[in-house]
Amino acid sequence: MRQSDDNGATEFATLDEIREAALGKLSDAASDYLEGGAGDETTLRRNRRAFERWAFVPRVMSGQPTPATASRFLGVELALPILTAPFGADGLFHPDGHVAVARANAATGTVSIVPEAGSHSLERIAAAAPRAAAFGQVHPLGTDEGFLRIVRRYAEAGYRAICVTCDVPIMGRRERDLRNRYLPDYALFGGNYATIDEAFRQLGQLIERETPVWPWSRLGGLLAQVGLPWMAKGIMTADDARAAVAAGASALVVSNHGGRQLDGQRASLDALPEIRDAVGPAVELALDSGIRNGADVVKAIALGADAVVLGRLAVYGLAAGGEAGLCRVFELLRAEITTILTLLGRGSLTDLTPAALIRAEPD
């Protein structure tokens, strides 16, 4: 059943229904902005096909109790192994944007990665949901002083870790947006800036790069001055994984930015086992890009992730029904994950290993 208002969000029966409702509320150009990827969208498609290439290996008559879905990431307890992505321009999808996202995470026992380039200030989001607004996102851009200023704001507002988006030294060429001549209003990205001009100066660097790309040493040295643990988002190779850890990262987000940056690279899921092998069990990993349902979450955990990051799927819930819509996404994911773990004969997420999967051609 499809509802058109926030209060009817609990009536959505499937995640596909939520996606359909979300896209039905957005303009064609805004839908393309959400759904599109870079270049020919090869990487966007690979992200989905990578999940389809893995088939489950069930274990029947296991004697397992009702499966547990609890997890933790960077010391934060999670009822589900889920973080929501730091997508910008959140006010485009719902007026409450990441305020609603954080409240939905708080209600569900999951956690937000709160964006630097969002529609609401990091302080407002933290006040709305202090437990869930646990991780703050930054871009390695601009001056050292400007970078440290926003990181310290996260620290002062009570955030527990920093997420550094490392794979956006410049915006990827997103053909749908170029064809539509579409870029959301800068005000939708400016919640953490005093003026729109300030937001434009800072974030405009992502469109036309005017300064050198930062090295790991600069990033690690600056973050060491603040003392919060940090994760590197956008890691796709073993070499970059080792470099990030050497620079001080406590966790990594294996991600190709949902296929929105460099087209033609492999799927994030395909990179996950290599990166897990490179950093060993001590470094926490989250998997981002291509997650669309509970089966994807289970496959990511089995292949070495400690958690997943929801980007488009979180936006679908937000656009379809605000806080209630995203709560419904989490509720449906919990049901799917619990069902799959039961059918696999696994009692918890910690029971998942690569033995729960086998390579298979997509149906």
Residues annotated in the binding site for FMN, as ranges? 86-88, 137, 165, 233, 255, 288-292, 311-312
Which tokens hold the place of 300? 């990511």
Question: What are the CA-CA distances from residue 130 to residues 71, 302, 315 (Å)?
Answer: 19, 30, 21
| Continuous segment of H or E residues that includes residue 326 | helix 312-344
Q: Which residues are part of a known binding site for glyoxylate?
A: 33, 174, 257, 260
User: Phi first, then psi: what are they for 7, rounded to 5°?
Assistant: -70, -20
Q: What is the dihedral of CA 297, 82, 32, 45, to 10 degrees?
A: -30
How far apart CA 118 and CA 113 sit, in angstroms, is 11
How far apart CA 97 and CA 103 sit, in angstroms, is 10
SS3 content of the chain, % helix, strand, coil (to 5): 50, 15, 40
Q: Which residues are part of a known binding site?
A: 33, 86-88, 137, 165, 174, 233, 255, 257, 260, 288-292, 311-312
| Catalytic annotation present for 98 | no
State how beta strands 54-56 and 357-359 pair.
Answer: antiparallel
| Continuous segment of H or E residues that includes residue 165 | strand 161-165
Helices (H), 53-170: 97-108, 122-128, 144-156
How far apart CA 98 and CA 91 sit, in angstroms, is 8
Is 99 exposed, middle or buried, given 0-12, 13-18 or 19+ CB atoms closer than 10 A?
buried
Which tokens hold the place of 110? 């999951």
Q: Kindly list the catalytic residues.
A: 257
